[in-house]
Each structure stands twice: as structure tokens, then as C-alpha cells.
Amino acid sequence: MSTQQKSFSSNLGAIMAAVGSAVGLGNIWRFPYTCGKYGGGAFLIVYLGFVFFLGAVLMMSEFIIGRRAQHTPVKAFQALRPDRKGWGLIGLLGIVTSFFILSQYLVLSGWTTGYVWEAITGSLASLGTSAAPISDYFTQFSTDSWKPALFLAIFSVLVLLVILGGVQKGIENVSKVLMPVLVVLILVLCVRSLTLPGAYKGVEYLFSPDFSKLTGEGILAALGQSLFSLSVGMGVMIVYGSYIPVNDNIFKTAMWITVCDTLIAVLAGLAIFPAVFSCGFDPAGGPGLVFCVLPNVFNSMGSAGIVFSTIFFLLLMVAALTSAISLLEALTATISEHLGTCRVVGAVLFFILSTLFGVIFSLSMGPLSHVKLAGLTLFDSVDRLNSIYLPPLCALGTVVFLGWVMPEHDVHDEFTNHGVLSGRFYGMFRFLARYVVPVALLVVFVSGILM
């Protein structure tokens, strides 16, 4: 098998980069409102089960495939079973998924970047504390024709610059700085939020289990969220897997990433809900919670509000940045390997394409809202594709490949670092990867389509 020289410099570097990929808008924007909606603690229990028994297994599978093959997704599947080249299609599916996720992610990241600006300049603070002007402001901002596109482009350029820096100097170093910054920012917000009067109501909302709200839909949401949050089911972790140093323990690395990702999601909930309750706002803000409800919360904190809202949107932007970096990296590495070009060509190509698609998806909420695919706007169509169809399908292909198609000694070798590690959890890992995870994914995929 060919050896790539590209690799993270250490286990810590690999963990930081992968945590950077996993921790994103999914943790800070999506997890809190989904958890609140489906019964708080009840949702959390189910979510934890999915994260550790499904998501982590998928992450280990992707790392094993990537590190064993030392290739990007399409070639990785082909290299591990040269006699069954068709499995390369799963890799291709992953790369297509990464592209659509990146384009959609850029839209939300663009809003976040815009809100950092609006927070610093005091525009958000000037809206006061009544709900209507703040949500009108968000509607106006997100449906405007040039503003979201401009901020989207600024954000994409930042992502491109990191990728051009390379795997160690760009991705790894940026993640090693930004991840601790993110933890500090989120802790500052947690302390502020938890010390507000009446904060306990938010803690209660997040943790006290209400099993009556945990519907079948809630269980599916927990599963979807666990895949999305860990960045699995799109080949990105196969690419990162190929950069993991040979003597790193894949099981431990994946566990660390899973634990960090989950902790940050819970901390995000603790930063958001106590403040929302304390200021008397509606916690069921759904996707608009972050952009429509939080500015309200900050504005009711008086002059310190500007500081806290800036910290919050900066936090969101940092989280989004390290995730977008991993998406562009997966695309860049793949195209450069296939075309045999240098990274710069691949990076610039996908930078242009994803920014272009991102702008189109963004415009589909404003000037292009009349363009519909099967009754949905372009943004909603891509959202459906990204949440219901592509990731579970790609995840299913990946885990079936690992459990049933890839030679078992390759899997065992990578799990135990060629017999150096005891591989205590290998039996359990293999059982989950062969039976439990495929069945669970099949159920999600089928019910997602039927719903």
C-alpha cells in the first residue's frame, strides 16, 4: 500500500483536529434545542447510548479504514478489497455528502460570522429586548441578497487559508489553538448563565427526563444528531484516519473525541438554557434559538450584553471553522489524490465550488425562494439530503464494509496496532460493527424515508 507522508504530528494533534471537526454548529446550535424539544434528560440518555454504541463505533471504523489504506475514501475502499472495486462507490458517496454538507454549513457559518460583526458593532444591542425587532432583523439579514453571501465568502476564505497551510501547520496548529479557546469561551458563558437568577429552571429543562416527549421521532433525531455531531458517515474521518500516527491507539483516540464532543454539547446547553429561562424567553425557539432568542437574552443583561454576545457568536464561529476545515480538507485530499495535482489546486477548486453552491443555497432563502425542488426551496432540499438520506446511507456502507467485506486481520491489526495492544474491546467492537450498528442504521434510513 502506498504511504502518504501527510500525518498529524502526535496523538494530541490528531485528537484536537478530530475534536475540531466534531465540535461545531451541531453541538452549540442544534444539540441544545433538539434536546429540549424531545424531553431533556430522556433524550440525553438515548443520545448517549447512540453516541457511544453507534457513533464511536463508526468513528473507529472510519479511522481503521483510513489508517490501514493510507488513501482518501474512494481509493481506500478499493485498496482494501482490490477484487471488489465497486465498494469505492461508498467512498464517493461520502465525498459527495461532504460537499453538500460543506455548502450548507457555509450558509450557517456565514450568518454566524455576520452576527459576530453585528455583535461587535453594537447593531444587535441596539435592537432592545422585545422579540419582534430581533426576529425581524434575523429574517431581514438571512433573506438579504448580498449580506449573507459576503459573510459566507469571508468565512470560506478563512477556511481556505488554513487548508493551504497544510495538515500539520494549518489544520493541526489551528485546532490546537482554537479548541482550548473554545472551551474557555464556553466556560465563561456557562458561569454567566448559571449564576443568573432562576437559572436552575434551565438546568431542569435540559436534564430532567420527560419521557412523554421522547417520541419515535425523538429517537430518530437522537440517532441523526449522534452521527452529525461526531462527523461520521461522510468519509471525513477516513481522511483524518489516514493522518493518525501508526502507534496511536484508535479505540482510545475515538473515545476521547466522543467524550469531548458530548461534553461540549452539554456545556452549550448549560450556557444557553439557564440564560433563556432566567430572562423569561421561550426555550422552544427551535433552529432560531441562537439567532432570534439569544440576542434578546444578551440585550437584557445591560451593557455587559455586548461582551457576552460577542463571545457567544465568536464561539460559534470558531466551532464552525474547525468543522468546515475538516470538510474542505477531505475534499482537497481526495481530489488531489485522484488528479495527481498538488493540494493548492484541489483546495482552490473546492473552495470556489462550495462557496458558489453556498451562495446559491443562501439566496434560496431570499431572492431565489421561488425556485423549488419537489416543493422545497434549494436550502431545504439540501438540508433533507444532508440529514436524512446521505449520511446514514454512507455510514451503513462503511460499517458493512468493515464488518463483512474488509479482511478481518486488517481490522484486527489496526485495532491492536499489529498486536502491540491487548485489544480488550475488540470483540465488542466487532460485534457492534457487524450486527448492531448496521441494523440500527437500516432502521433509521428506512424510517427517515417513510416519514
Site string for ligand TRP, 216-235 (x = CB under 6 A): ------------xx-x--x-
Name the minimum Å distance from CB 261 to ligand TRP.
Answer: 7
**E strand or H helix at 372:** strand 372-373
Residues 27-46 that bind ligand TRP (CB under 6 A): 27
Pick the closest to residue 325 from 183, 109, 177, 162 (CA basis). 162
Name the minimum Å distance from CB 161 to ligand TRP.
Answer: 18
**E strand or H helix at 376:** strand 376-377
Question: Rounded to the nearest 5°, which phi and psi values hold at 377?
Answer: -70, 165
Closer of 233 and 305 to ligand TRP (Cβ): 233
Name the minimum Å distance from CB 21 to ligand TRP.
Answer: 4
206 binds ligand TRP (CB under 6 A): no
Site string for ligand TRP, 236-255 (x = CB under 6 A): x-------------------
Residues 135-164 that bind ligand TRP (CB under 6 A): none
Pick the closest to residue 35 from 257, 300, 229 (CA basis). 229
Outline where DSSP puts E strands in 27-76.
Answer: none
Closer of 27 and 112 to ligand TRP (Cβ): 27
Question: Rounded to the nearest 5°, which phi and psi values hold at 424?
Answer: -55, -35
> How many CA atoms, within 13 angstroms, populate the side-chain half-sphere of residue 14?
28
Residues 6 or more apart from 358 whose CB is under 8 A from it?
102, 103, 104, 106, 107, 110, 152, 156
What is the CB neighbour count within 10 angstroms for residue 348?
14
Question: Rounded to the nearest 5°, which phi and psi values hold at 420?
Answer: -70, -40
Name the minimum Å distance from CB 56 to ligand TRP.
Answer: 14
Give the binding-site size for ligand TRP (rule: CB under 6 A): 15
Name the minimum Å distance from CB 24 to ligand TRP.
Answer: 2
Where does this chain touch ligand TRP (CB under 6 A) — which range of 21-29, 48-56, 135-143, 183-191? 21-29
Closer of 137 and 261 to ligand TRP (Cβ): 261
> How many CA atoms, within 13 angstroms, populate the side-chain half-sphere of residue 237?
35
22 binds ligand TRP (CB under 6 A): yes
Q: Helix or strand or coil: residue 301?
A: coil
Closer of 206 and 327 to ligand TRP (Cβ): 327
Closer of 237 and 275 to ligand TRP (Cβ): 237
Amino acid at 261: D
Residues 310-329 that bind ligand TRP (CB under 6 A): 323, 326-327
Closer of 260 and 292 to ligand TRP (Cβ): 260
Across-strand partners of 209? 40
Name the minimum Å distance from CB 408 to ligand TRP.
Answer: 28
Closer of 21 and 262 to ligand TRP (Cβ): 21
Rounded Cα distance, 198 and 101, in Å = 38
Closer of 264 and 433 to ligand TRP (Cβ): 264
24 binds ligand TRP (CB under 6 A): yes
Closer of 127 and 315 to ligand TRP (Cβ): 315
Question: Rounded to the nearest 5°, which phi and psi values hold at 291?
Answer: -90, -30
Q: Rg (Cα) of the chain, in Å, rounded?
A: 21
Site string for ligand TRP, 92-111 (x = CB under 6 A): ---------x----------
Question: Rounded to the nearest 5°, which phi and psi values hold at 199?
Answer: -65, -30
Residues in contact with ligand TRP by CB under 6 A are 21-22, 24-27, 101, 228-229, 231, 234, 236, 323, 326-327
